[in-house]
Amino acid sequence: MSADSTVKGFDPLRGNAATPSPRKPGFARETSSPAEVTIAFDDNRHASSLMGSHDQNLAFLERRLGIEATVRGNHVALRGPAEACRQARKVLESLYDRVKRGESVALGDVDGAIRMAASQGQLFPADGDGPRPGFAQVATRKKTIVARTAAQDAYIRSLGRHELVFATGPAGTGKTYIAVAWAAALIERGEADRIILSRPAVEAGERLGFLPGDMKEKVDPYLRPLYDALYDVMPAEKVERGMTSGMIEIAPLAFMRGRTLANAVVLLDEAQNTSSMQMKMFLTRLGENSRMIITGDPTQIDLPPGQVSGLAEAVGLLENVEGIGVTRFSAADVVRHELVARIVRAYEGAHESPSV
């Protein structure tokens, strides 16, 4: 059952009954006080999907906002600081809308909604205060990727405004995943003819030696994260057809010299491991009607000692050039797992602390 609902209760600022106001469809009713909010969802199945397995999404919301949440059927009672309860209500309403549209809600989505609330000060305007602000999105045939942090939001918007975008920051912030999704979206909209994926073949502190097989088999281990992202945002059969037809091309960085890449989305991942010469060579491959996305983590450089990272140099030289966008991620933007963010912060703190 779905019906427009009303807000009822005592207004502590006015000292009288609060004037009922229309609620959006999907909620039977809501009552609030300075430290308690009760929400009733109109569909038990959708409400169950929102809460997650064993109410894990709600438990995550409790931990992050410092509130208590109690579920009784399709009702959720929130108790805690008034502002935290208000934000939790808005987060749940937003995520419930996503569930009703047929989208899944995972812990990362809950985390993203809370992060946006913190970065904006207020996740959504109060009822009647104007339109709801939207998070930047990348829509592909298989799924829609919604920004989970303010940096991801800025990154997606930068991809829409610039022909060349740098994204730097620690692992787990979504730099590569969003870049691959953006490339897939442009292909599906007919704004590009092919996707070109490249990555420097530098081992992470290891020496793998000779790798058997043809060129594709030799570079596959280095490009596996890009493959994983492609299969996540595009149907498997389309990825495989694209590999066969050349619509999706694997181009080792060493083989890019002399080419002009037109009508393509070109992605260079792990760019912190390019030399200054390699980066300049790669950047000058950009052809007509093409987009270039360069991602990397300046703190994980595996180049020989004393060699300058082409990524760091390029960002410093080109940041203020028209048509080029730069997005910087930090440990606060890690969305992979809560522990990953803590690990990144611990390493950052260790490197910043003076040695004893």
- Tell me the pLDDT tens digit for each residue of 181-199: 999 999 999 999 999 998 8
> Do 90 and 81 meet the contact criterion of CB atoms below 8 Å apart?
no
Question: In sequence order, which ranges of the chain are alpha helices (DSSP H)?
Answer: 44-51, 56-65, 82-100, 107-120, 150-161, 175-188, 215-233, 236-245, 276-283, 310-318, 338-352
**Nearest in space to 89 (alpha carbons), one of 121, 124, 136:** 124
Backbone angles phi, psi at 66, to 5 degrees: 70, 40
Q: Where are the alpha helices (DSSP H) in 39-106?
A: 44-51, 56-65, 82-100
Q: What is the DSSP string of 318-335?
A: HTTSTTEEEEE--GGG--
Answer yes or no: same fold for 7-134 and 138-352.
Answer: no
pLDDT at 163: 94
pLDDT for 131? 35
What does the pLDDT read at residue 178?
Answer: 94
Enter the CATH code of domain 7-134.
3.30.1370.10
Cβ-Cβ contacts under 8 Å for 290 (sequence gap 6 or more): 163, 192, 261, 262, 263, 264, 265, 266
Q: CB of 84 within 8 A of CB of 67?
A: yes
Task: Give pLDDT, residue 212.
Answer: 60
For 138-352, CATH number out of 3.40.50.2300, 3.40.50.300, 2.60.40.10, 3.40.190.10 equals: 3.40.50.300
Sequence ranges of the domains in the chain: 7-134, 138-352
- Measure the CA–CA gap between 111 and 161, rounded to whole angstroms: 27
Instruction: Kindly give the confidence (pLDDT) of every residue in the chain, 356 residues in length, as a single tens digit, with 9 standing for 90 and above.
Output: 333 333 333 343 333 434 344 444 444 444 444 568 888 888 888 888 888 888 888 888 888 888 888 888 788 888 888 888 888 888 888 788 878 888 788 887 787 777 766 555 543 333 433 334 467 889 888 888 888 888 899 999 999 999 999 999 998 899 999 999 999 999 999 999 999 998 886 544 444 445 566 656 666 676 778 888 899 899 999 999 998 999 999 887 878 888 889 999 999 999 999 999 999 999 999 999 999 999 999 988 888 888 899 999 999 999 999 999 999 998 888 876 667 767 877 887 776 655 44
Q: Let me know: does 256 contact 198? Beta carbons within 8 Å.
A: yes
